[in-house]
Amino acid sequence: MKSVKGVQDILSLSQEELGKQLLEQGWKKFKSTQVYDWLWKHGVRNFDNMSNLSLEHREFLKQHYSINPISQDVIQHSVDGTKKMRFTLHDGHKIESVLIPAEEDNRYTLCVSSQAGCSLTCSFCATGRMGLLRQLTASEIFDQYIEVNKLCLQSYEKPISNIVYMGMGEPLLNYKNVTQSITKLLSNTGPNLSQRRITLSTAGIAKMIKKLADDGFKVNLALSLHAADDQKRNEIMPINQHNNLHALMEALKYYYKATGQRISYEYIAFEHFNDGDQDAKNLIRLCSHFPVLVNIIEYNPVRGLDYVKSSDDRINRFAKLLLKSGVMTTVRKSRGKDIDAACGQLANES
């Protein structure tokens, strides 16, 4: 066999790129398809386990390609069934993923991280305090699915049914790798999931929301809104200074027109900050441009931050005002609070 230059990360190659390289080495096309299937269909991360390849072929792969898998280091179990897994990346950085089972509805939701840390410094979020350590590669995002799916099968004898990009990081600031990971999850050479099962949650990067629509994605889109006027939103989410509510509404309208997908707003309720009647009125106005589902989420305390969660009474009053105006609204109890696995709590402190 001819030699290829250096050692390449095999998971960074598309099927075509890998096929071309192996063809140049004299491999039959079906052999390169087998390698690709091992990697992406079966999630195998060790060349020795590619059992239908000859020893010679496996040795060749070992010499010329590397696999940089994520390795699980801690699993925490919440009393409510939620499980948080911490993974170490090949360079030592840590990320977290959360499995949220709802056995009664047959829903097993995986929350994946898209970056190690986050650059956006939302004032209520533990991840934001870490800063951005680095972008995750497409395979590091995809591998969270592979690893947590094993846990899901072991624990419930069911595969993951839904994936939310809502863990550490802002997915639209790692656009290329996030969309590549989505493409792998949708592919029939991978898990073959449907776009309706995938939700991308963003703090709001207007131009990238439009790009997602232009690139033909139809995943569910959730905007982490958390305040319905610019002044309050600037206060808790600095990204709003460059992507204000007007720009975000335009972008979401564009996404809705292109995809026909209802938009979700995530709204963490902070006592006497964003849970009053005027806040509800402002929010109702933001629901008039396209079909919206508002998810009101209880705030999960983060060590060192002094936000206070809204009382049940205030949340109920707020939700009633929305419902009365015809806005589809749910109030979500947080899952996994006792293991710091709930919204805004992921910070590798396990």
Residue nearest to ligand SF4 (CB): 128
96 among known catalytic residues: yes
Site string for ligand SF4, 163-202 (x = CB under 6 A): -----xxx--------------------------------
Q: What is the CA radius of gyration of the chain?
A: 22
Is there binding between residue 127 and ligand SF4 (CB under 6 A)? yes
Catalytic residue among 96, 140, 170, 266: 96
Q: How far apart are CA 287 and CA 120, in angstroms?
A: 25
Find where tokens 């209802």 sit.
Answer: 262
Among candidates 177, 167, 233, 185, which has minimal Cα distance to 208?
Answer: 177
Instruction: Closer to ligand SF4 by CB, 85 or 120: give it.
Output: 120
The piece of 18-26, 64-72, 133-141, 162-170 that touches ligand SF4 (CB under 6 A) is: 162-170
Is there binding between residue 203 and ligand SF4 (CB under 6 A)? yes
CB of 204 to ligand SF4, least distance (A): 9
Is there binding between residue 133 and ligand SF4 (CB under 6 A)? no
343 among known catalytic residues: yes
Site string for ligand SF4, 91-120 (x = CB under 6 A): ---------------------------x-x
Q: How far apart are CA 42 and CA 193, in angstroms?
A: 14
Q: Quote the Cα angle for 210-215-218, to 5°.
A: 80
Give the amino acid at 348: N
Q: Which residues pair with 330 in a beta bridge?
A: 295
The one among 122, 193, 280, 321 contacting ligand SF4 by CB under 6 A = 122
Residues 6+ positions from 139 with CB-CB distance below 8 Å: 9, 11, 12, 68, 181
Residues 6+ positions from 145 with CB-CB distance below 8 Å: 110, 112, 160, 163, 185, 191
Instruction: Closer to ligand SF4 by CB, 103 or 349: give it.
Output: 349
The SS3 call for residue 105 is helix
**DSSP annotation of 91:** T
Residues acting as catalytic residues: 96, 343
Interface residues with ligand SF4 (CB under 6 A) are 118, 120-122, 125, 127-128, 168-170, 203, 224, 344
